Chain A
């Protein structure tokens, strides 16, 4: 009995401690984001690695989601003769929900993991200590560029995902299933407000910040060799995906 309680207590304490550590890390990241020097070259390089190199993955995910969404909602809506509404379903789902969330999950898997693995390796091979000894703050040199790049690029990737998903839905709805293109477009446009797009993009900014923060935190605090790097990488993906899904609900409720 006591051992169970002990274990529960230890796990809870560890969780709370880690949450505190992440919050402190976040505070430090913000602090160093707004103080000179700025490593513009690092930022651009990370924007390429996190953003540009994620485009194929995001495109594939978004287009298949848009297409499947059109196909599935058609099947359901046909039962009560509402096929004309699938345009609205696709565009609303893509902008408010699926664009940001799926992009977030894909970027967490791709870029979040690589951030954690790279910083983790730098930690265990003492490259992070070497930065300190060269009078360079690794929070500024490594963490801030990755955090900013992932926040900024999630905004654009997610916008791209929304657009491509809607295009995929249009292709299936109109070209494959034969819905009237004018009705499809009108339904999409009339039922999607500019706010819906903004809600989605604001979510993406938050998800991008989460991916950058968790990826860097896990990598930066890696302990113990190759195994530690593996753990940090897994941890980064799992924790950022869970946070994305949890925050998604609260952001949806908040931004309704």
Chain B
């Protein structure tokens, strides 16, 4: 059996006295699409930030492609990060740069390609996410859905092996949201990447995932295929996926 792409073992993280993650175990196989679902404040964002080394565990470890992230120096960490592409919730485009400079940012930093070549690759990646003739626009001139597409183009520009999606459909209208879902599925087919998404949008989770993991109170409650999750007997998971205000989860 090949080594998993991402292996999270007994991950603990606190901010001040507030324990956000209390022993998370999660394994993502190469080429798999894993979605972590959970309510606001359940620690999903904190979890995904550990995978790319934006945060480090208090206890436990995160292994990516066989390397434990906490043991790496800055240089090694950057090398690992080059395997990743990340789509941020609000896209996090650099607003002082044009669209093509955003998409080509990694290439410009880490390769010796000329501006013309970087631009050509940016145009190609933008086409992959369904955008044309936006290269010279500034991020502020784009709609929310277009920004996410540009963010996605930036995430795949360096031919990432792993793509992380931080709430890919949040803040979009249902149709745009679904087109982003299609894009995620489509890109995975074309590029064969491993992906980890966090979301509370169940429609999106069912559509883009091979497996879904539910995070609640800093621990993984259940992991399963979308069908297994739909047929869950765990009352916490059941309440979440049906979106009911009545049950063991209380809104705080």
Residues of chain A lying within 8 A (CB to CB) of residue B74: 137
CB-based nearest A residue for B81: A135
> Which residues of chain B are near A133, meaning CB under 8 Å?
52, 54, 81, 84-86, 164
The residue of chain A having its C-beta at the shortest distance from the C-beta of B105 within the complex is A134
Task: State which size class the interface on B falls in.
Answer: 20 to 34
B88 to chain A: closest residue by CB: A126
Residue ranges of B at the interface with A (Cβ–Cβ < 8 Å): 49, 52-54, 74, 78-79, 81-82, 84-86, 88-90, 92-95, 105-106, 109-110, 154, 158, 164
Interface residue A248 (Cβ < 8 Å from any Cβ of B): no
Pair A130/B86 contact, Cβ less than 8 Å:
yes
Alpha-carbon distance between A129 and B92 when the two chains are bound, in angstroms:
8
Question: Once the chains bind, are A130 and B109 in contact (CB under 8 Å)?
Answer: no
A126 and B82: CB pair below 8 A? no
Cα distance A16–B158 in the bound complex, in angstroms = 43
Residues of A within 8 A of B54 (CB): 129, 132-133
Q: A125-B95, A132-B52, A135-B79 are in contact. List 6 more A-B contacts (CB 8 A).
A: A129-B49, A132-B81, A133-B52, A134-B109, A135-B78, A135-B106
In the complex, chain A residues whose CB is within 8 Å of the CB of B106: 134-136
B109:A125 contact, CB within 8 angstroms? no
| B residues less than 8 Å from A126 (CB atoms) | 88-90, 92
A180 interfacial by beta-carbon distance below 8 Å: no
| Least CB distance, B87 to chain A, in whole angstroms | 10
Counting CB contacts under 8 A, is A127 at the interface?
Answer: yes
Whether the pair B82, A130 counts as a contact (CB closer than 8 A) is no
A125 contacts B92, C-beta separation under 8 Å:
yes
Instruction: Give Cα A130 to B94, complex, Å.
Output: 9
A122 to B96: give the CA distance in the assembly, Å.
10
Contact B92 A130 (CB under 8 A): yes
Instruction: Select the residue from A125, A130, A133 with max chain B CB neighbours within 10 A.
Output: A133
Whole-angstrom distance between the alpha carbons of A133 and B109 in the complex? Answer: 12
